[in-house]
Amino acid sequence: MSTPCYEEPAAGSALQQGDILHWPKAANCFEAAGVVVTADCDLARGKHWGKVSVVPLISMQNCVEELMAPKLLERCTDKLFEKLKKQLRKKFGGEEISKDILEIHLSSEKIPDEWRDDAEIDTLAKLVRQARRHESTIPPLECLAMAYKQLEAKPNSVLLNKIQTALQQPPGDVLVLPLISLLPFEARVAWLRVLREVEDIQVALKASEYTDGMAQRVARLGPIWRYKLTQKLAQVFSDIGLPDEDEATVKTDIVSYGQQLSHQYTPEGV
């Protein structure tokens, strides 16, 4: 039996952690809905200084287009770069263009005109530039699909698999929720990397309080989902990355210890 994702709070009841807010007049997808993450004790005792912390709720489509597609495209950069080098040599002959010169062209305001005259070179250059965030002329998901067409034998299958895997095994700062039907649009992905501060007096706790520009409280996450969200949020802001050298040292020590165990428990003569 599944646990309810959300409940409908009583009109006018106090604002709580897990409350789902909707901004009907928002123009940005990251500002249209969100979940309150300020602790209940701070809200009850007025320790929040009138400011409520909210994480954005976005649609799966927005999540894929704005968050996941750029990351997946970034992972294609090296292969796209190498293919571009080969196409340039094939087109113009002579010695292979040096990496440094190629980097200068790719990071400049625009690519050389002679590159743009060749459709494939032009496409590859645009893909590399977008993967490295030198330009953003192509929608991210469309750009990712174009990259797989350049690199994969079955680009559509690869695209579908990558997107499904990214949603099923999202990064630590993304939580995919069940559909919240009380919202007037599909927004079910909490992005925990960004915190938005909202004045509590700008949250309408019942319909009669709402005026343009305010947030409407439409629902409240159930206890289990509320705990899951705040747990992941804490992990996002408490994780500490070690220097590469330290991680390499630890890995070397682990391998060395494993080798010692292997020698210790390997019978003589084997």
Distance of alpha carbon 218 from alpha carbon 234, whole angstroms: 25
Q: Which of 61-70, 107-116, 187-196, 259-268 has the lowest mean pLDDT?
A: 259-268
Q: Are 134 and 154 in contact (CB under 8 A)?
A: no
- Note the pLDDT tens digit of each residue in 109-121: 888 888 888 899 9
Query: Residue ranges of the domains in the chain?
Result: 6-59+171-238, 65-151
Decide if 217 contacts 19 (C-beta within 8 A).
Answer: yes
Residue 99 confidence (pLDDT): 82
Cα–Cα nearest to 171, from 148, 187, 190: 190
Please give the backbone phi and psi of residue 173, each rounded to the nearest 5 degrees, phi first. Answer: -95, 15
Q: pTM for this one?
A: 0.78
- Show the CA angle centred on residue 189, arms to residues 188 and 190, nearest 5°: 120
For the record, the structure tokens of 145 come out as 């699909």
The whole-chain average pLDDT of the chain stands at 88
Q: pLDDT > 90: what percent of the chain?
A: 49
User: Under a CB-based contact definition with an 8 Å cutoff, are residues 32 and 59 in contact?
Assistant: no
Query: Is 28 strand, coil or helix?
Result: coil
Name the CATH topology of 6-59+171-238: SH3 type barrels. (2.30.30)
- When pLDDT is averaged across residues 187-204 and rounded to a whole number, the result is 91
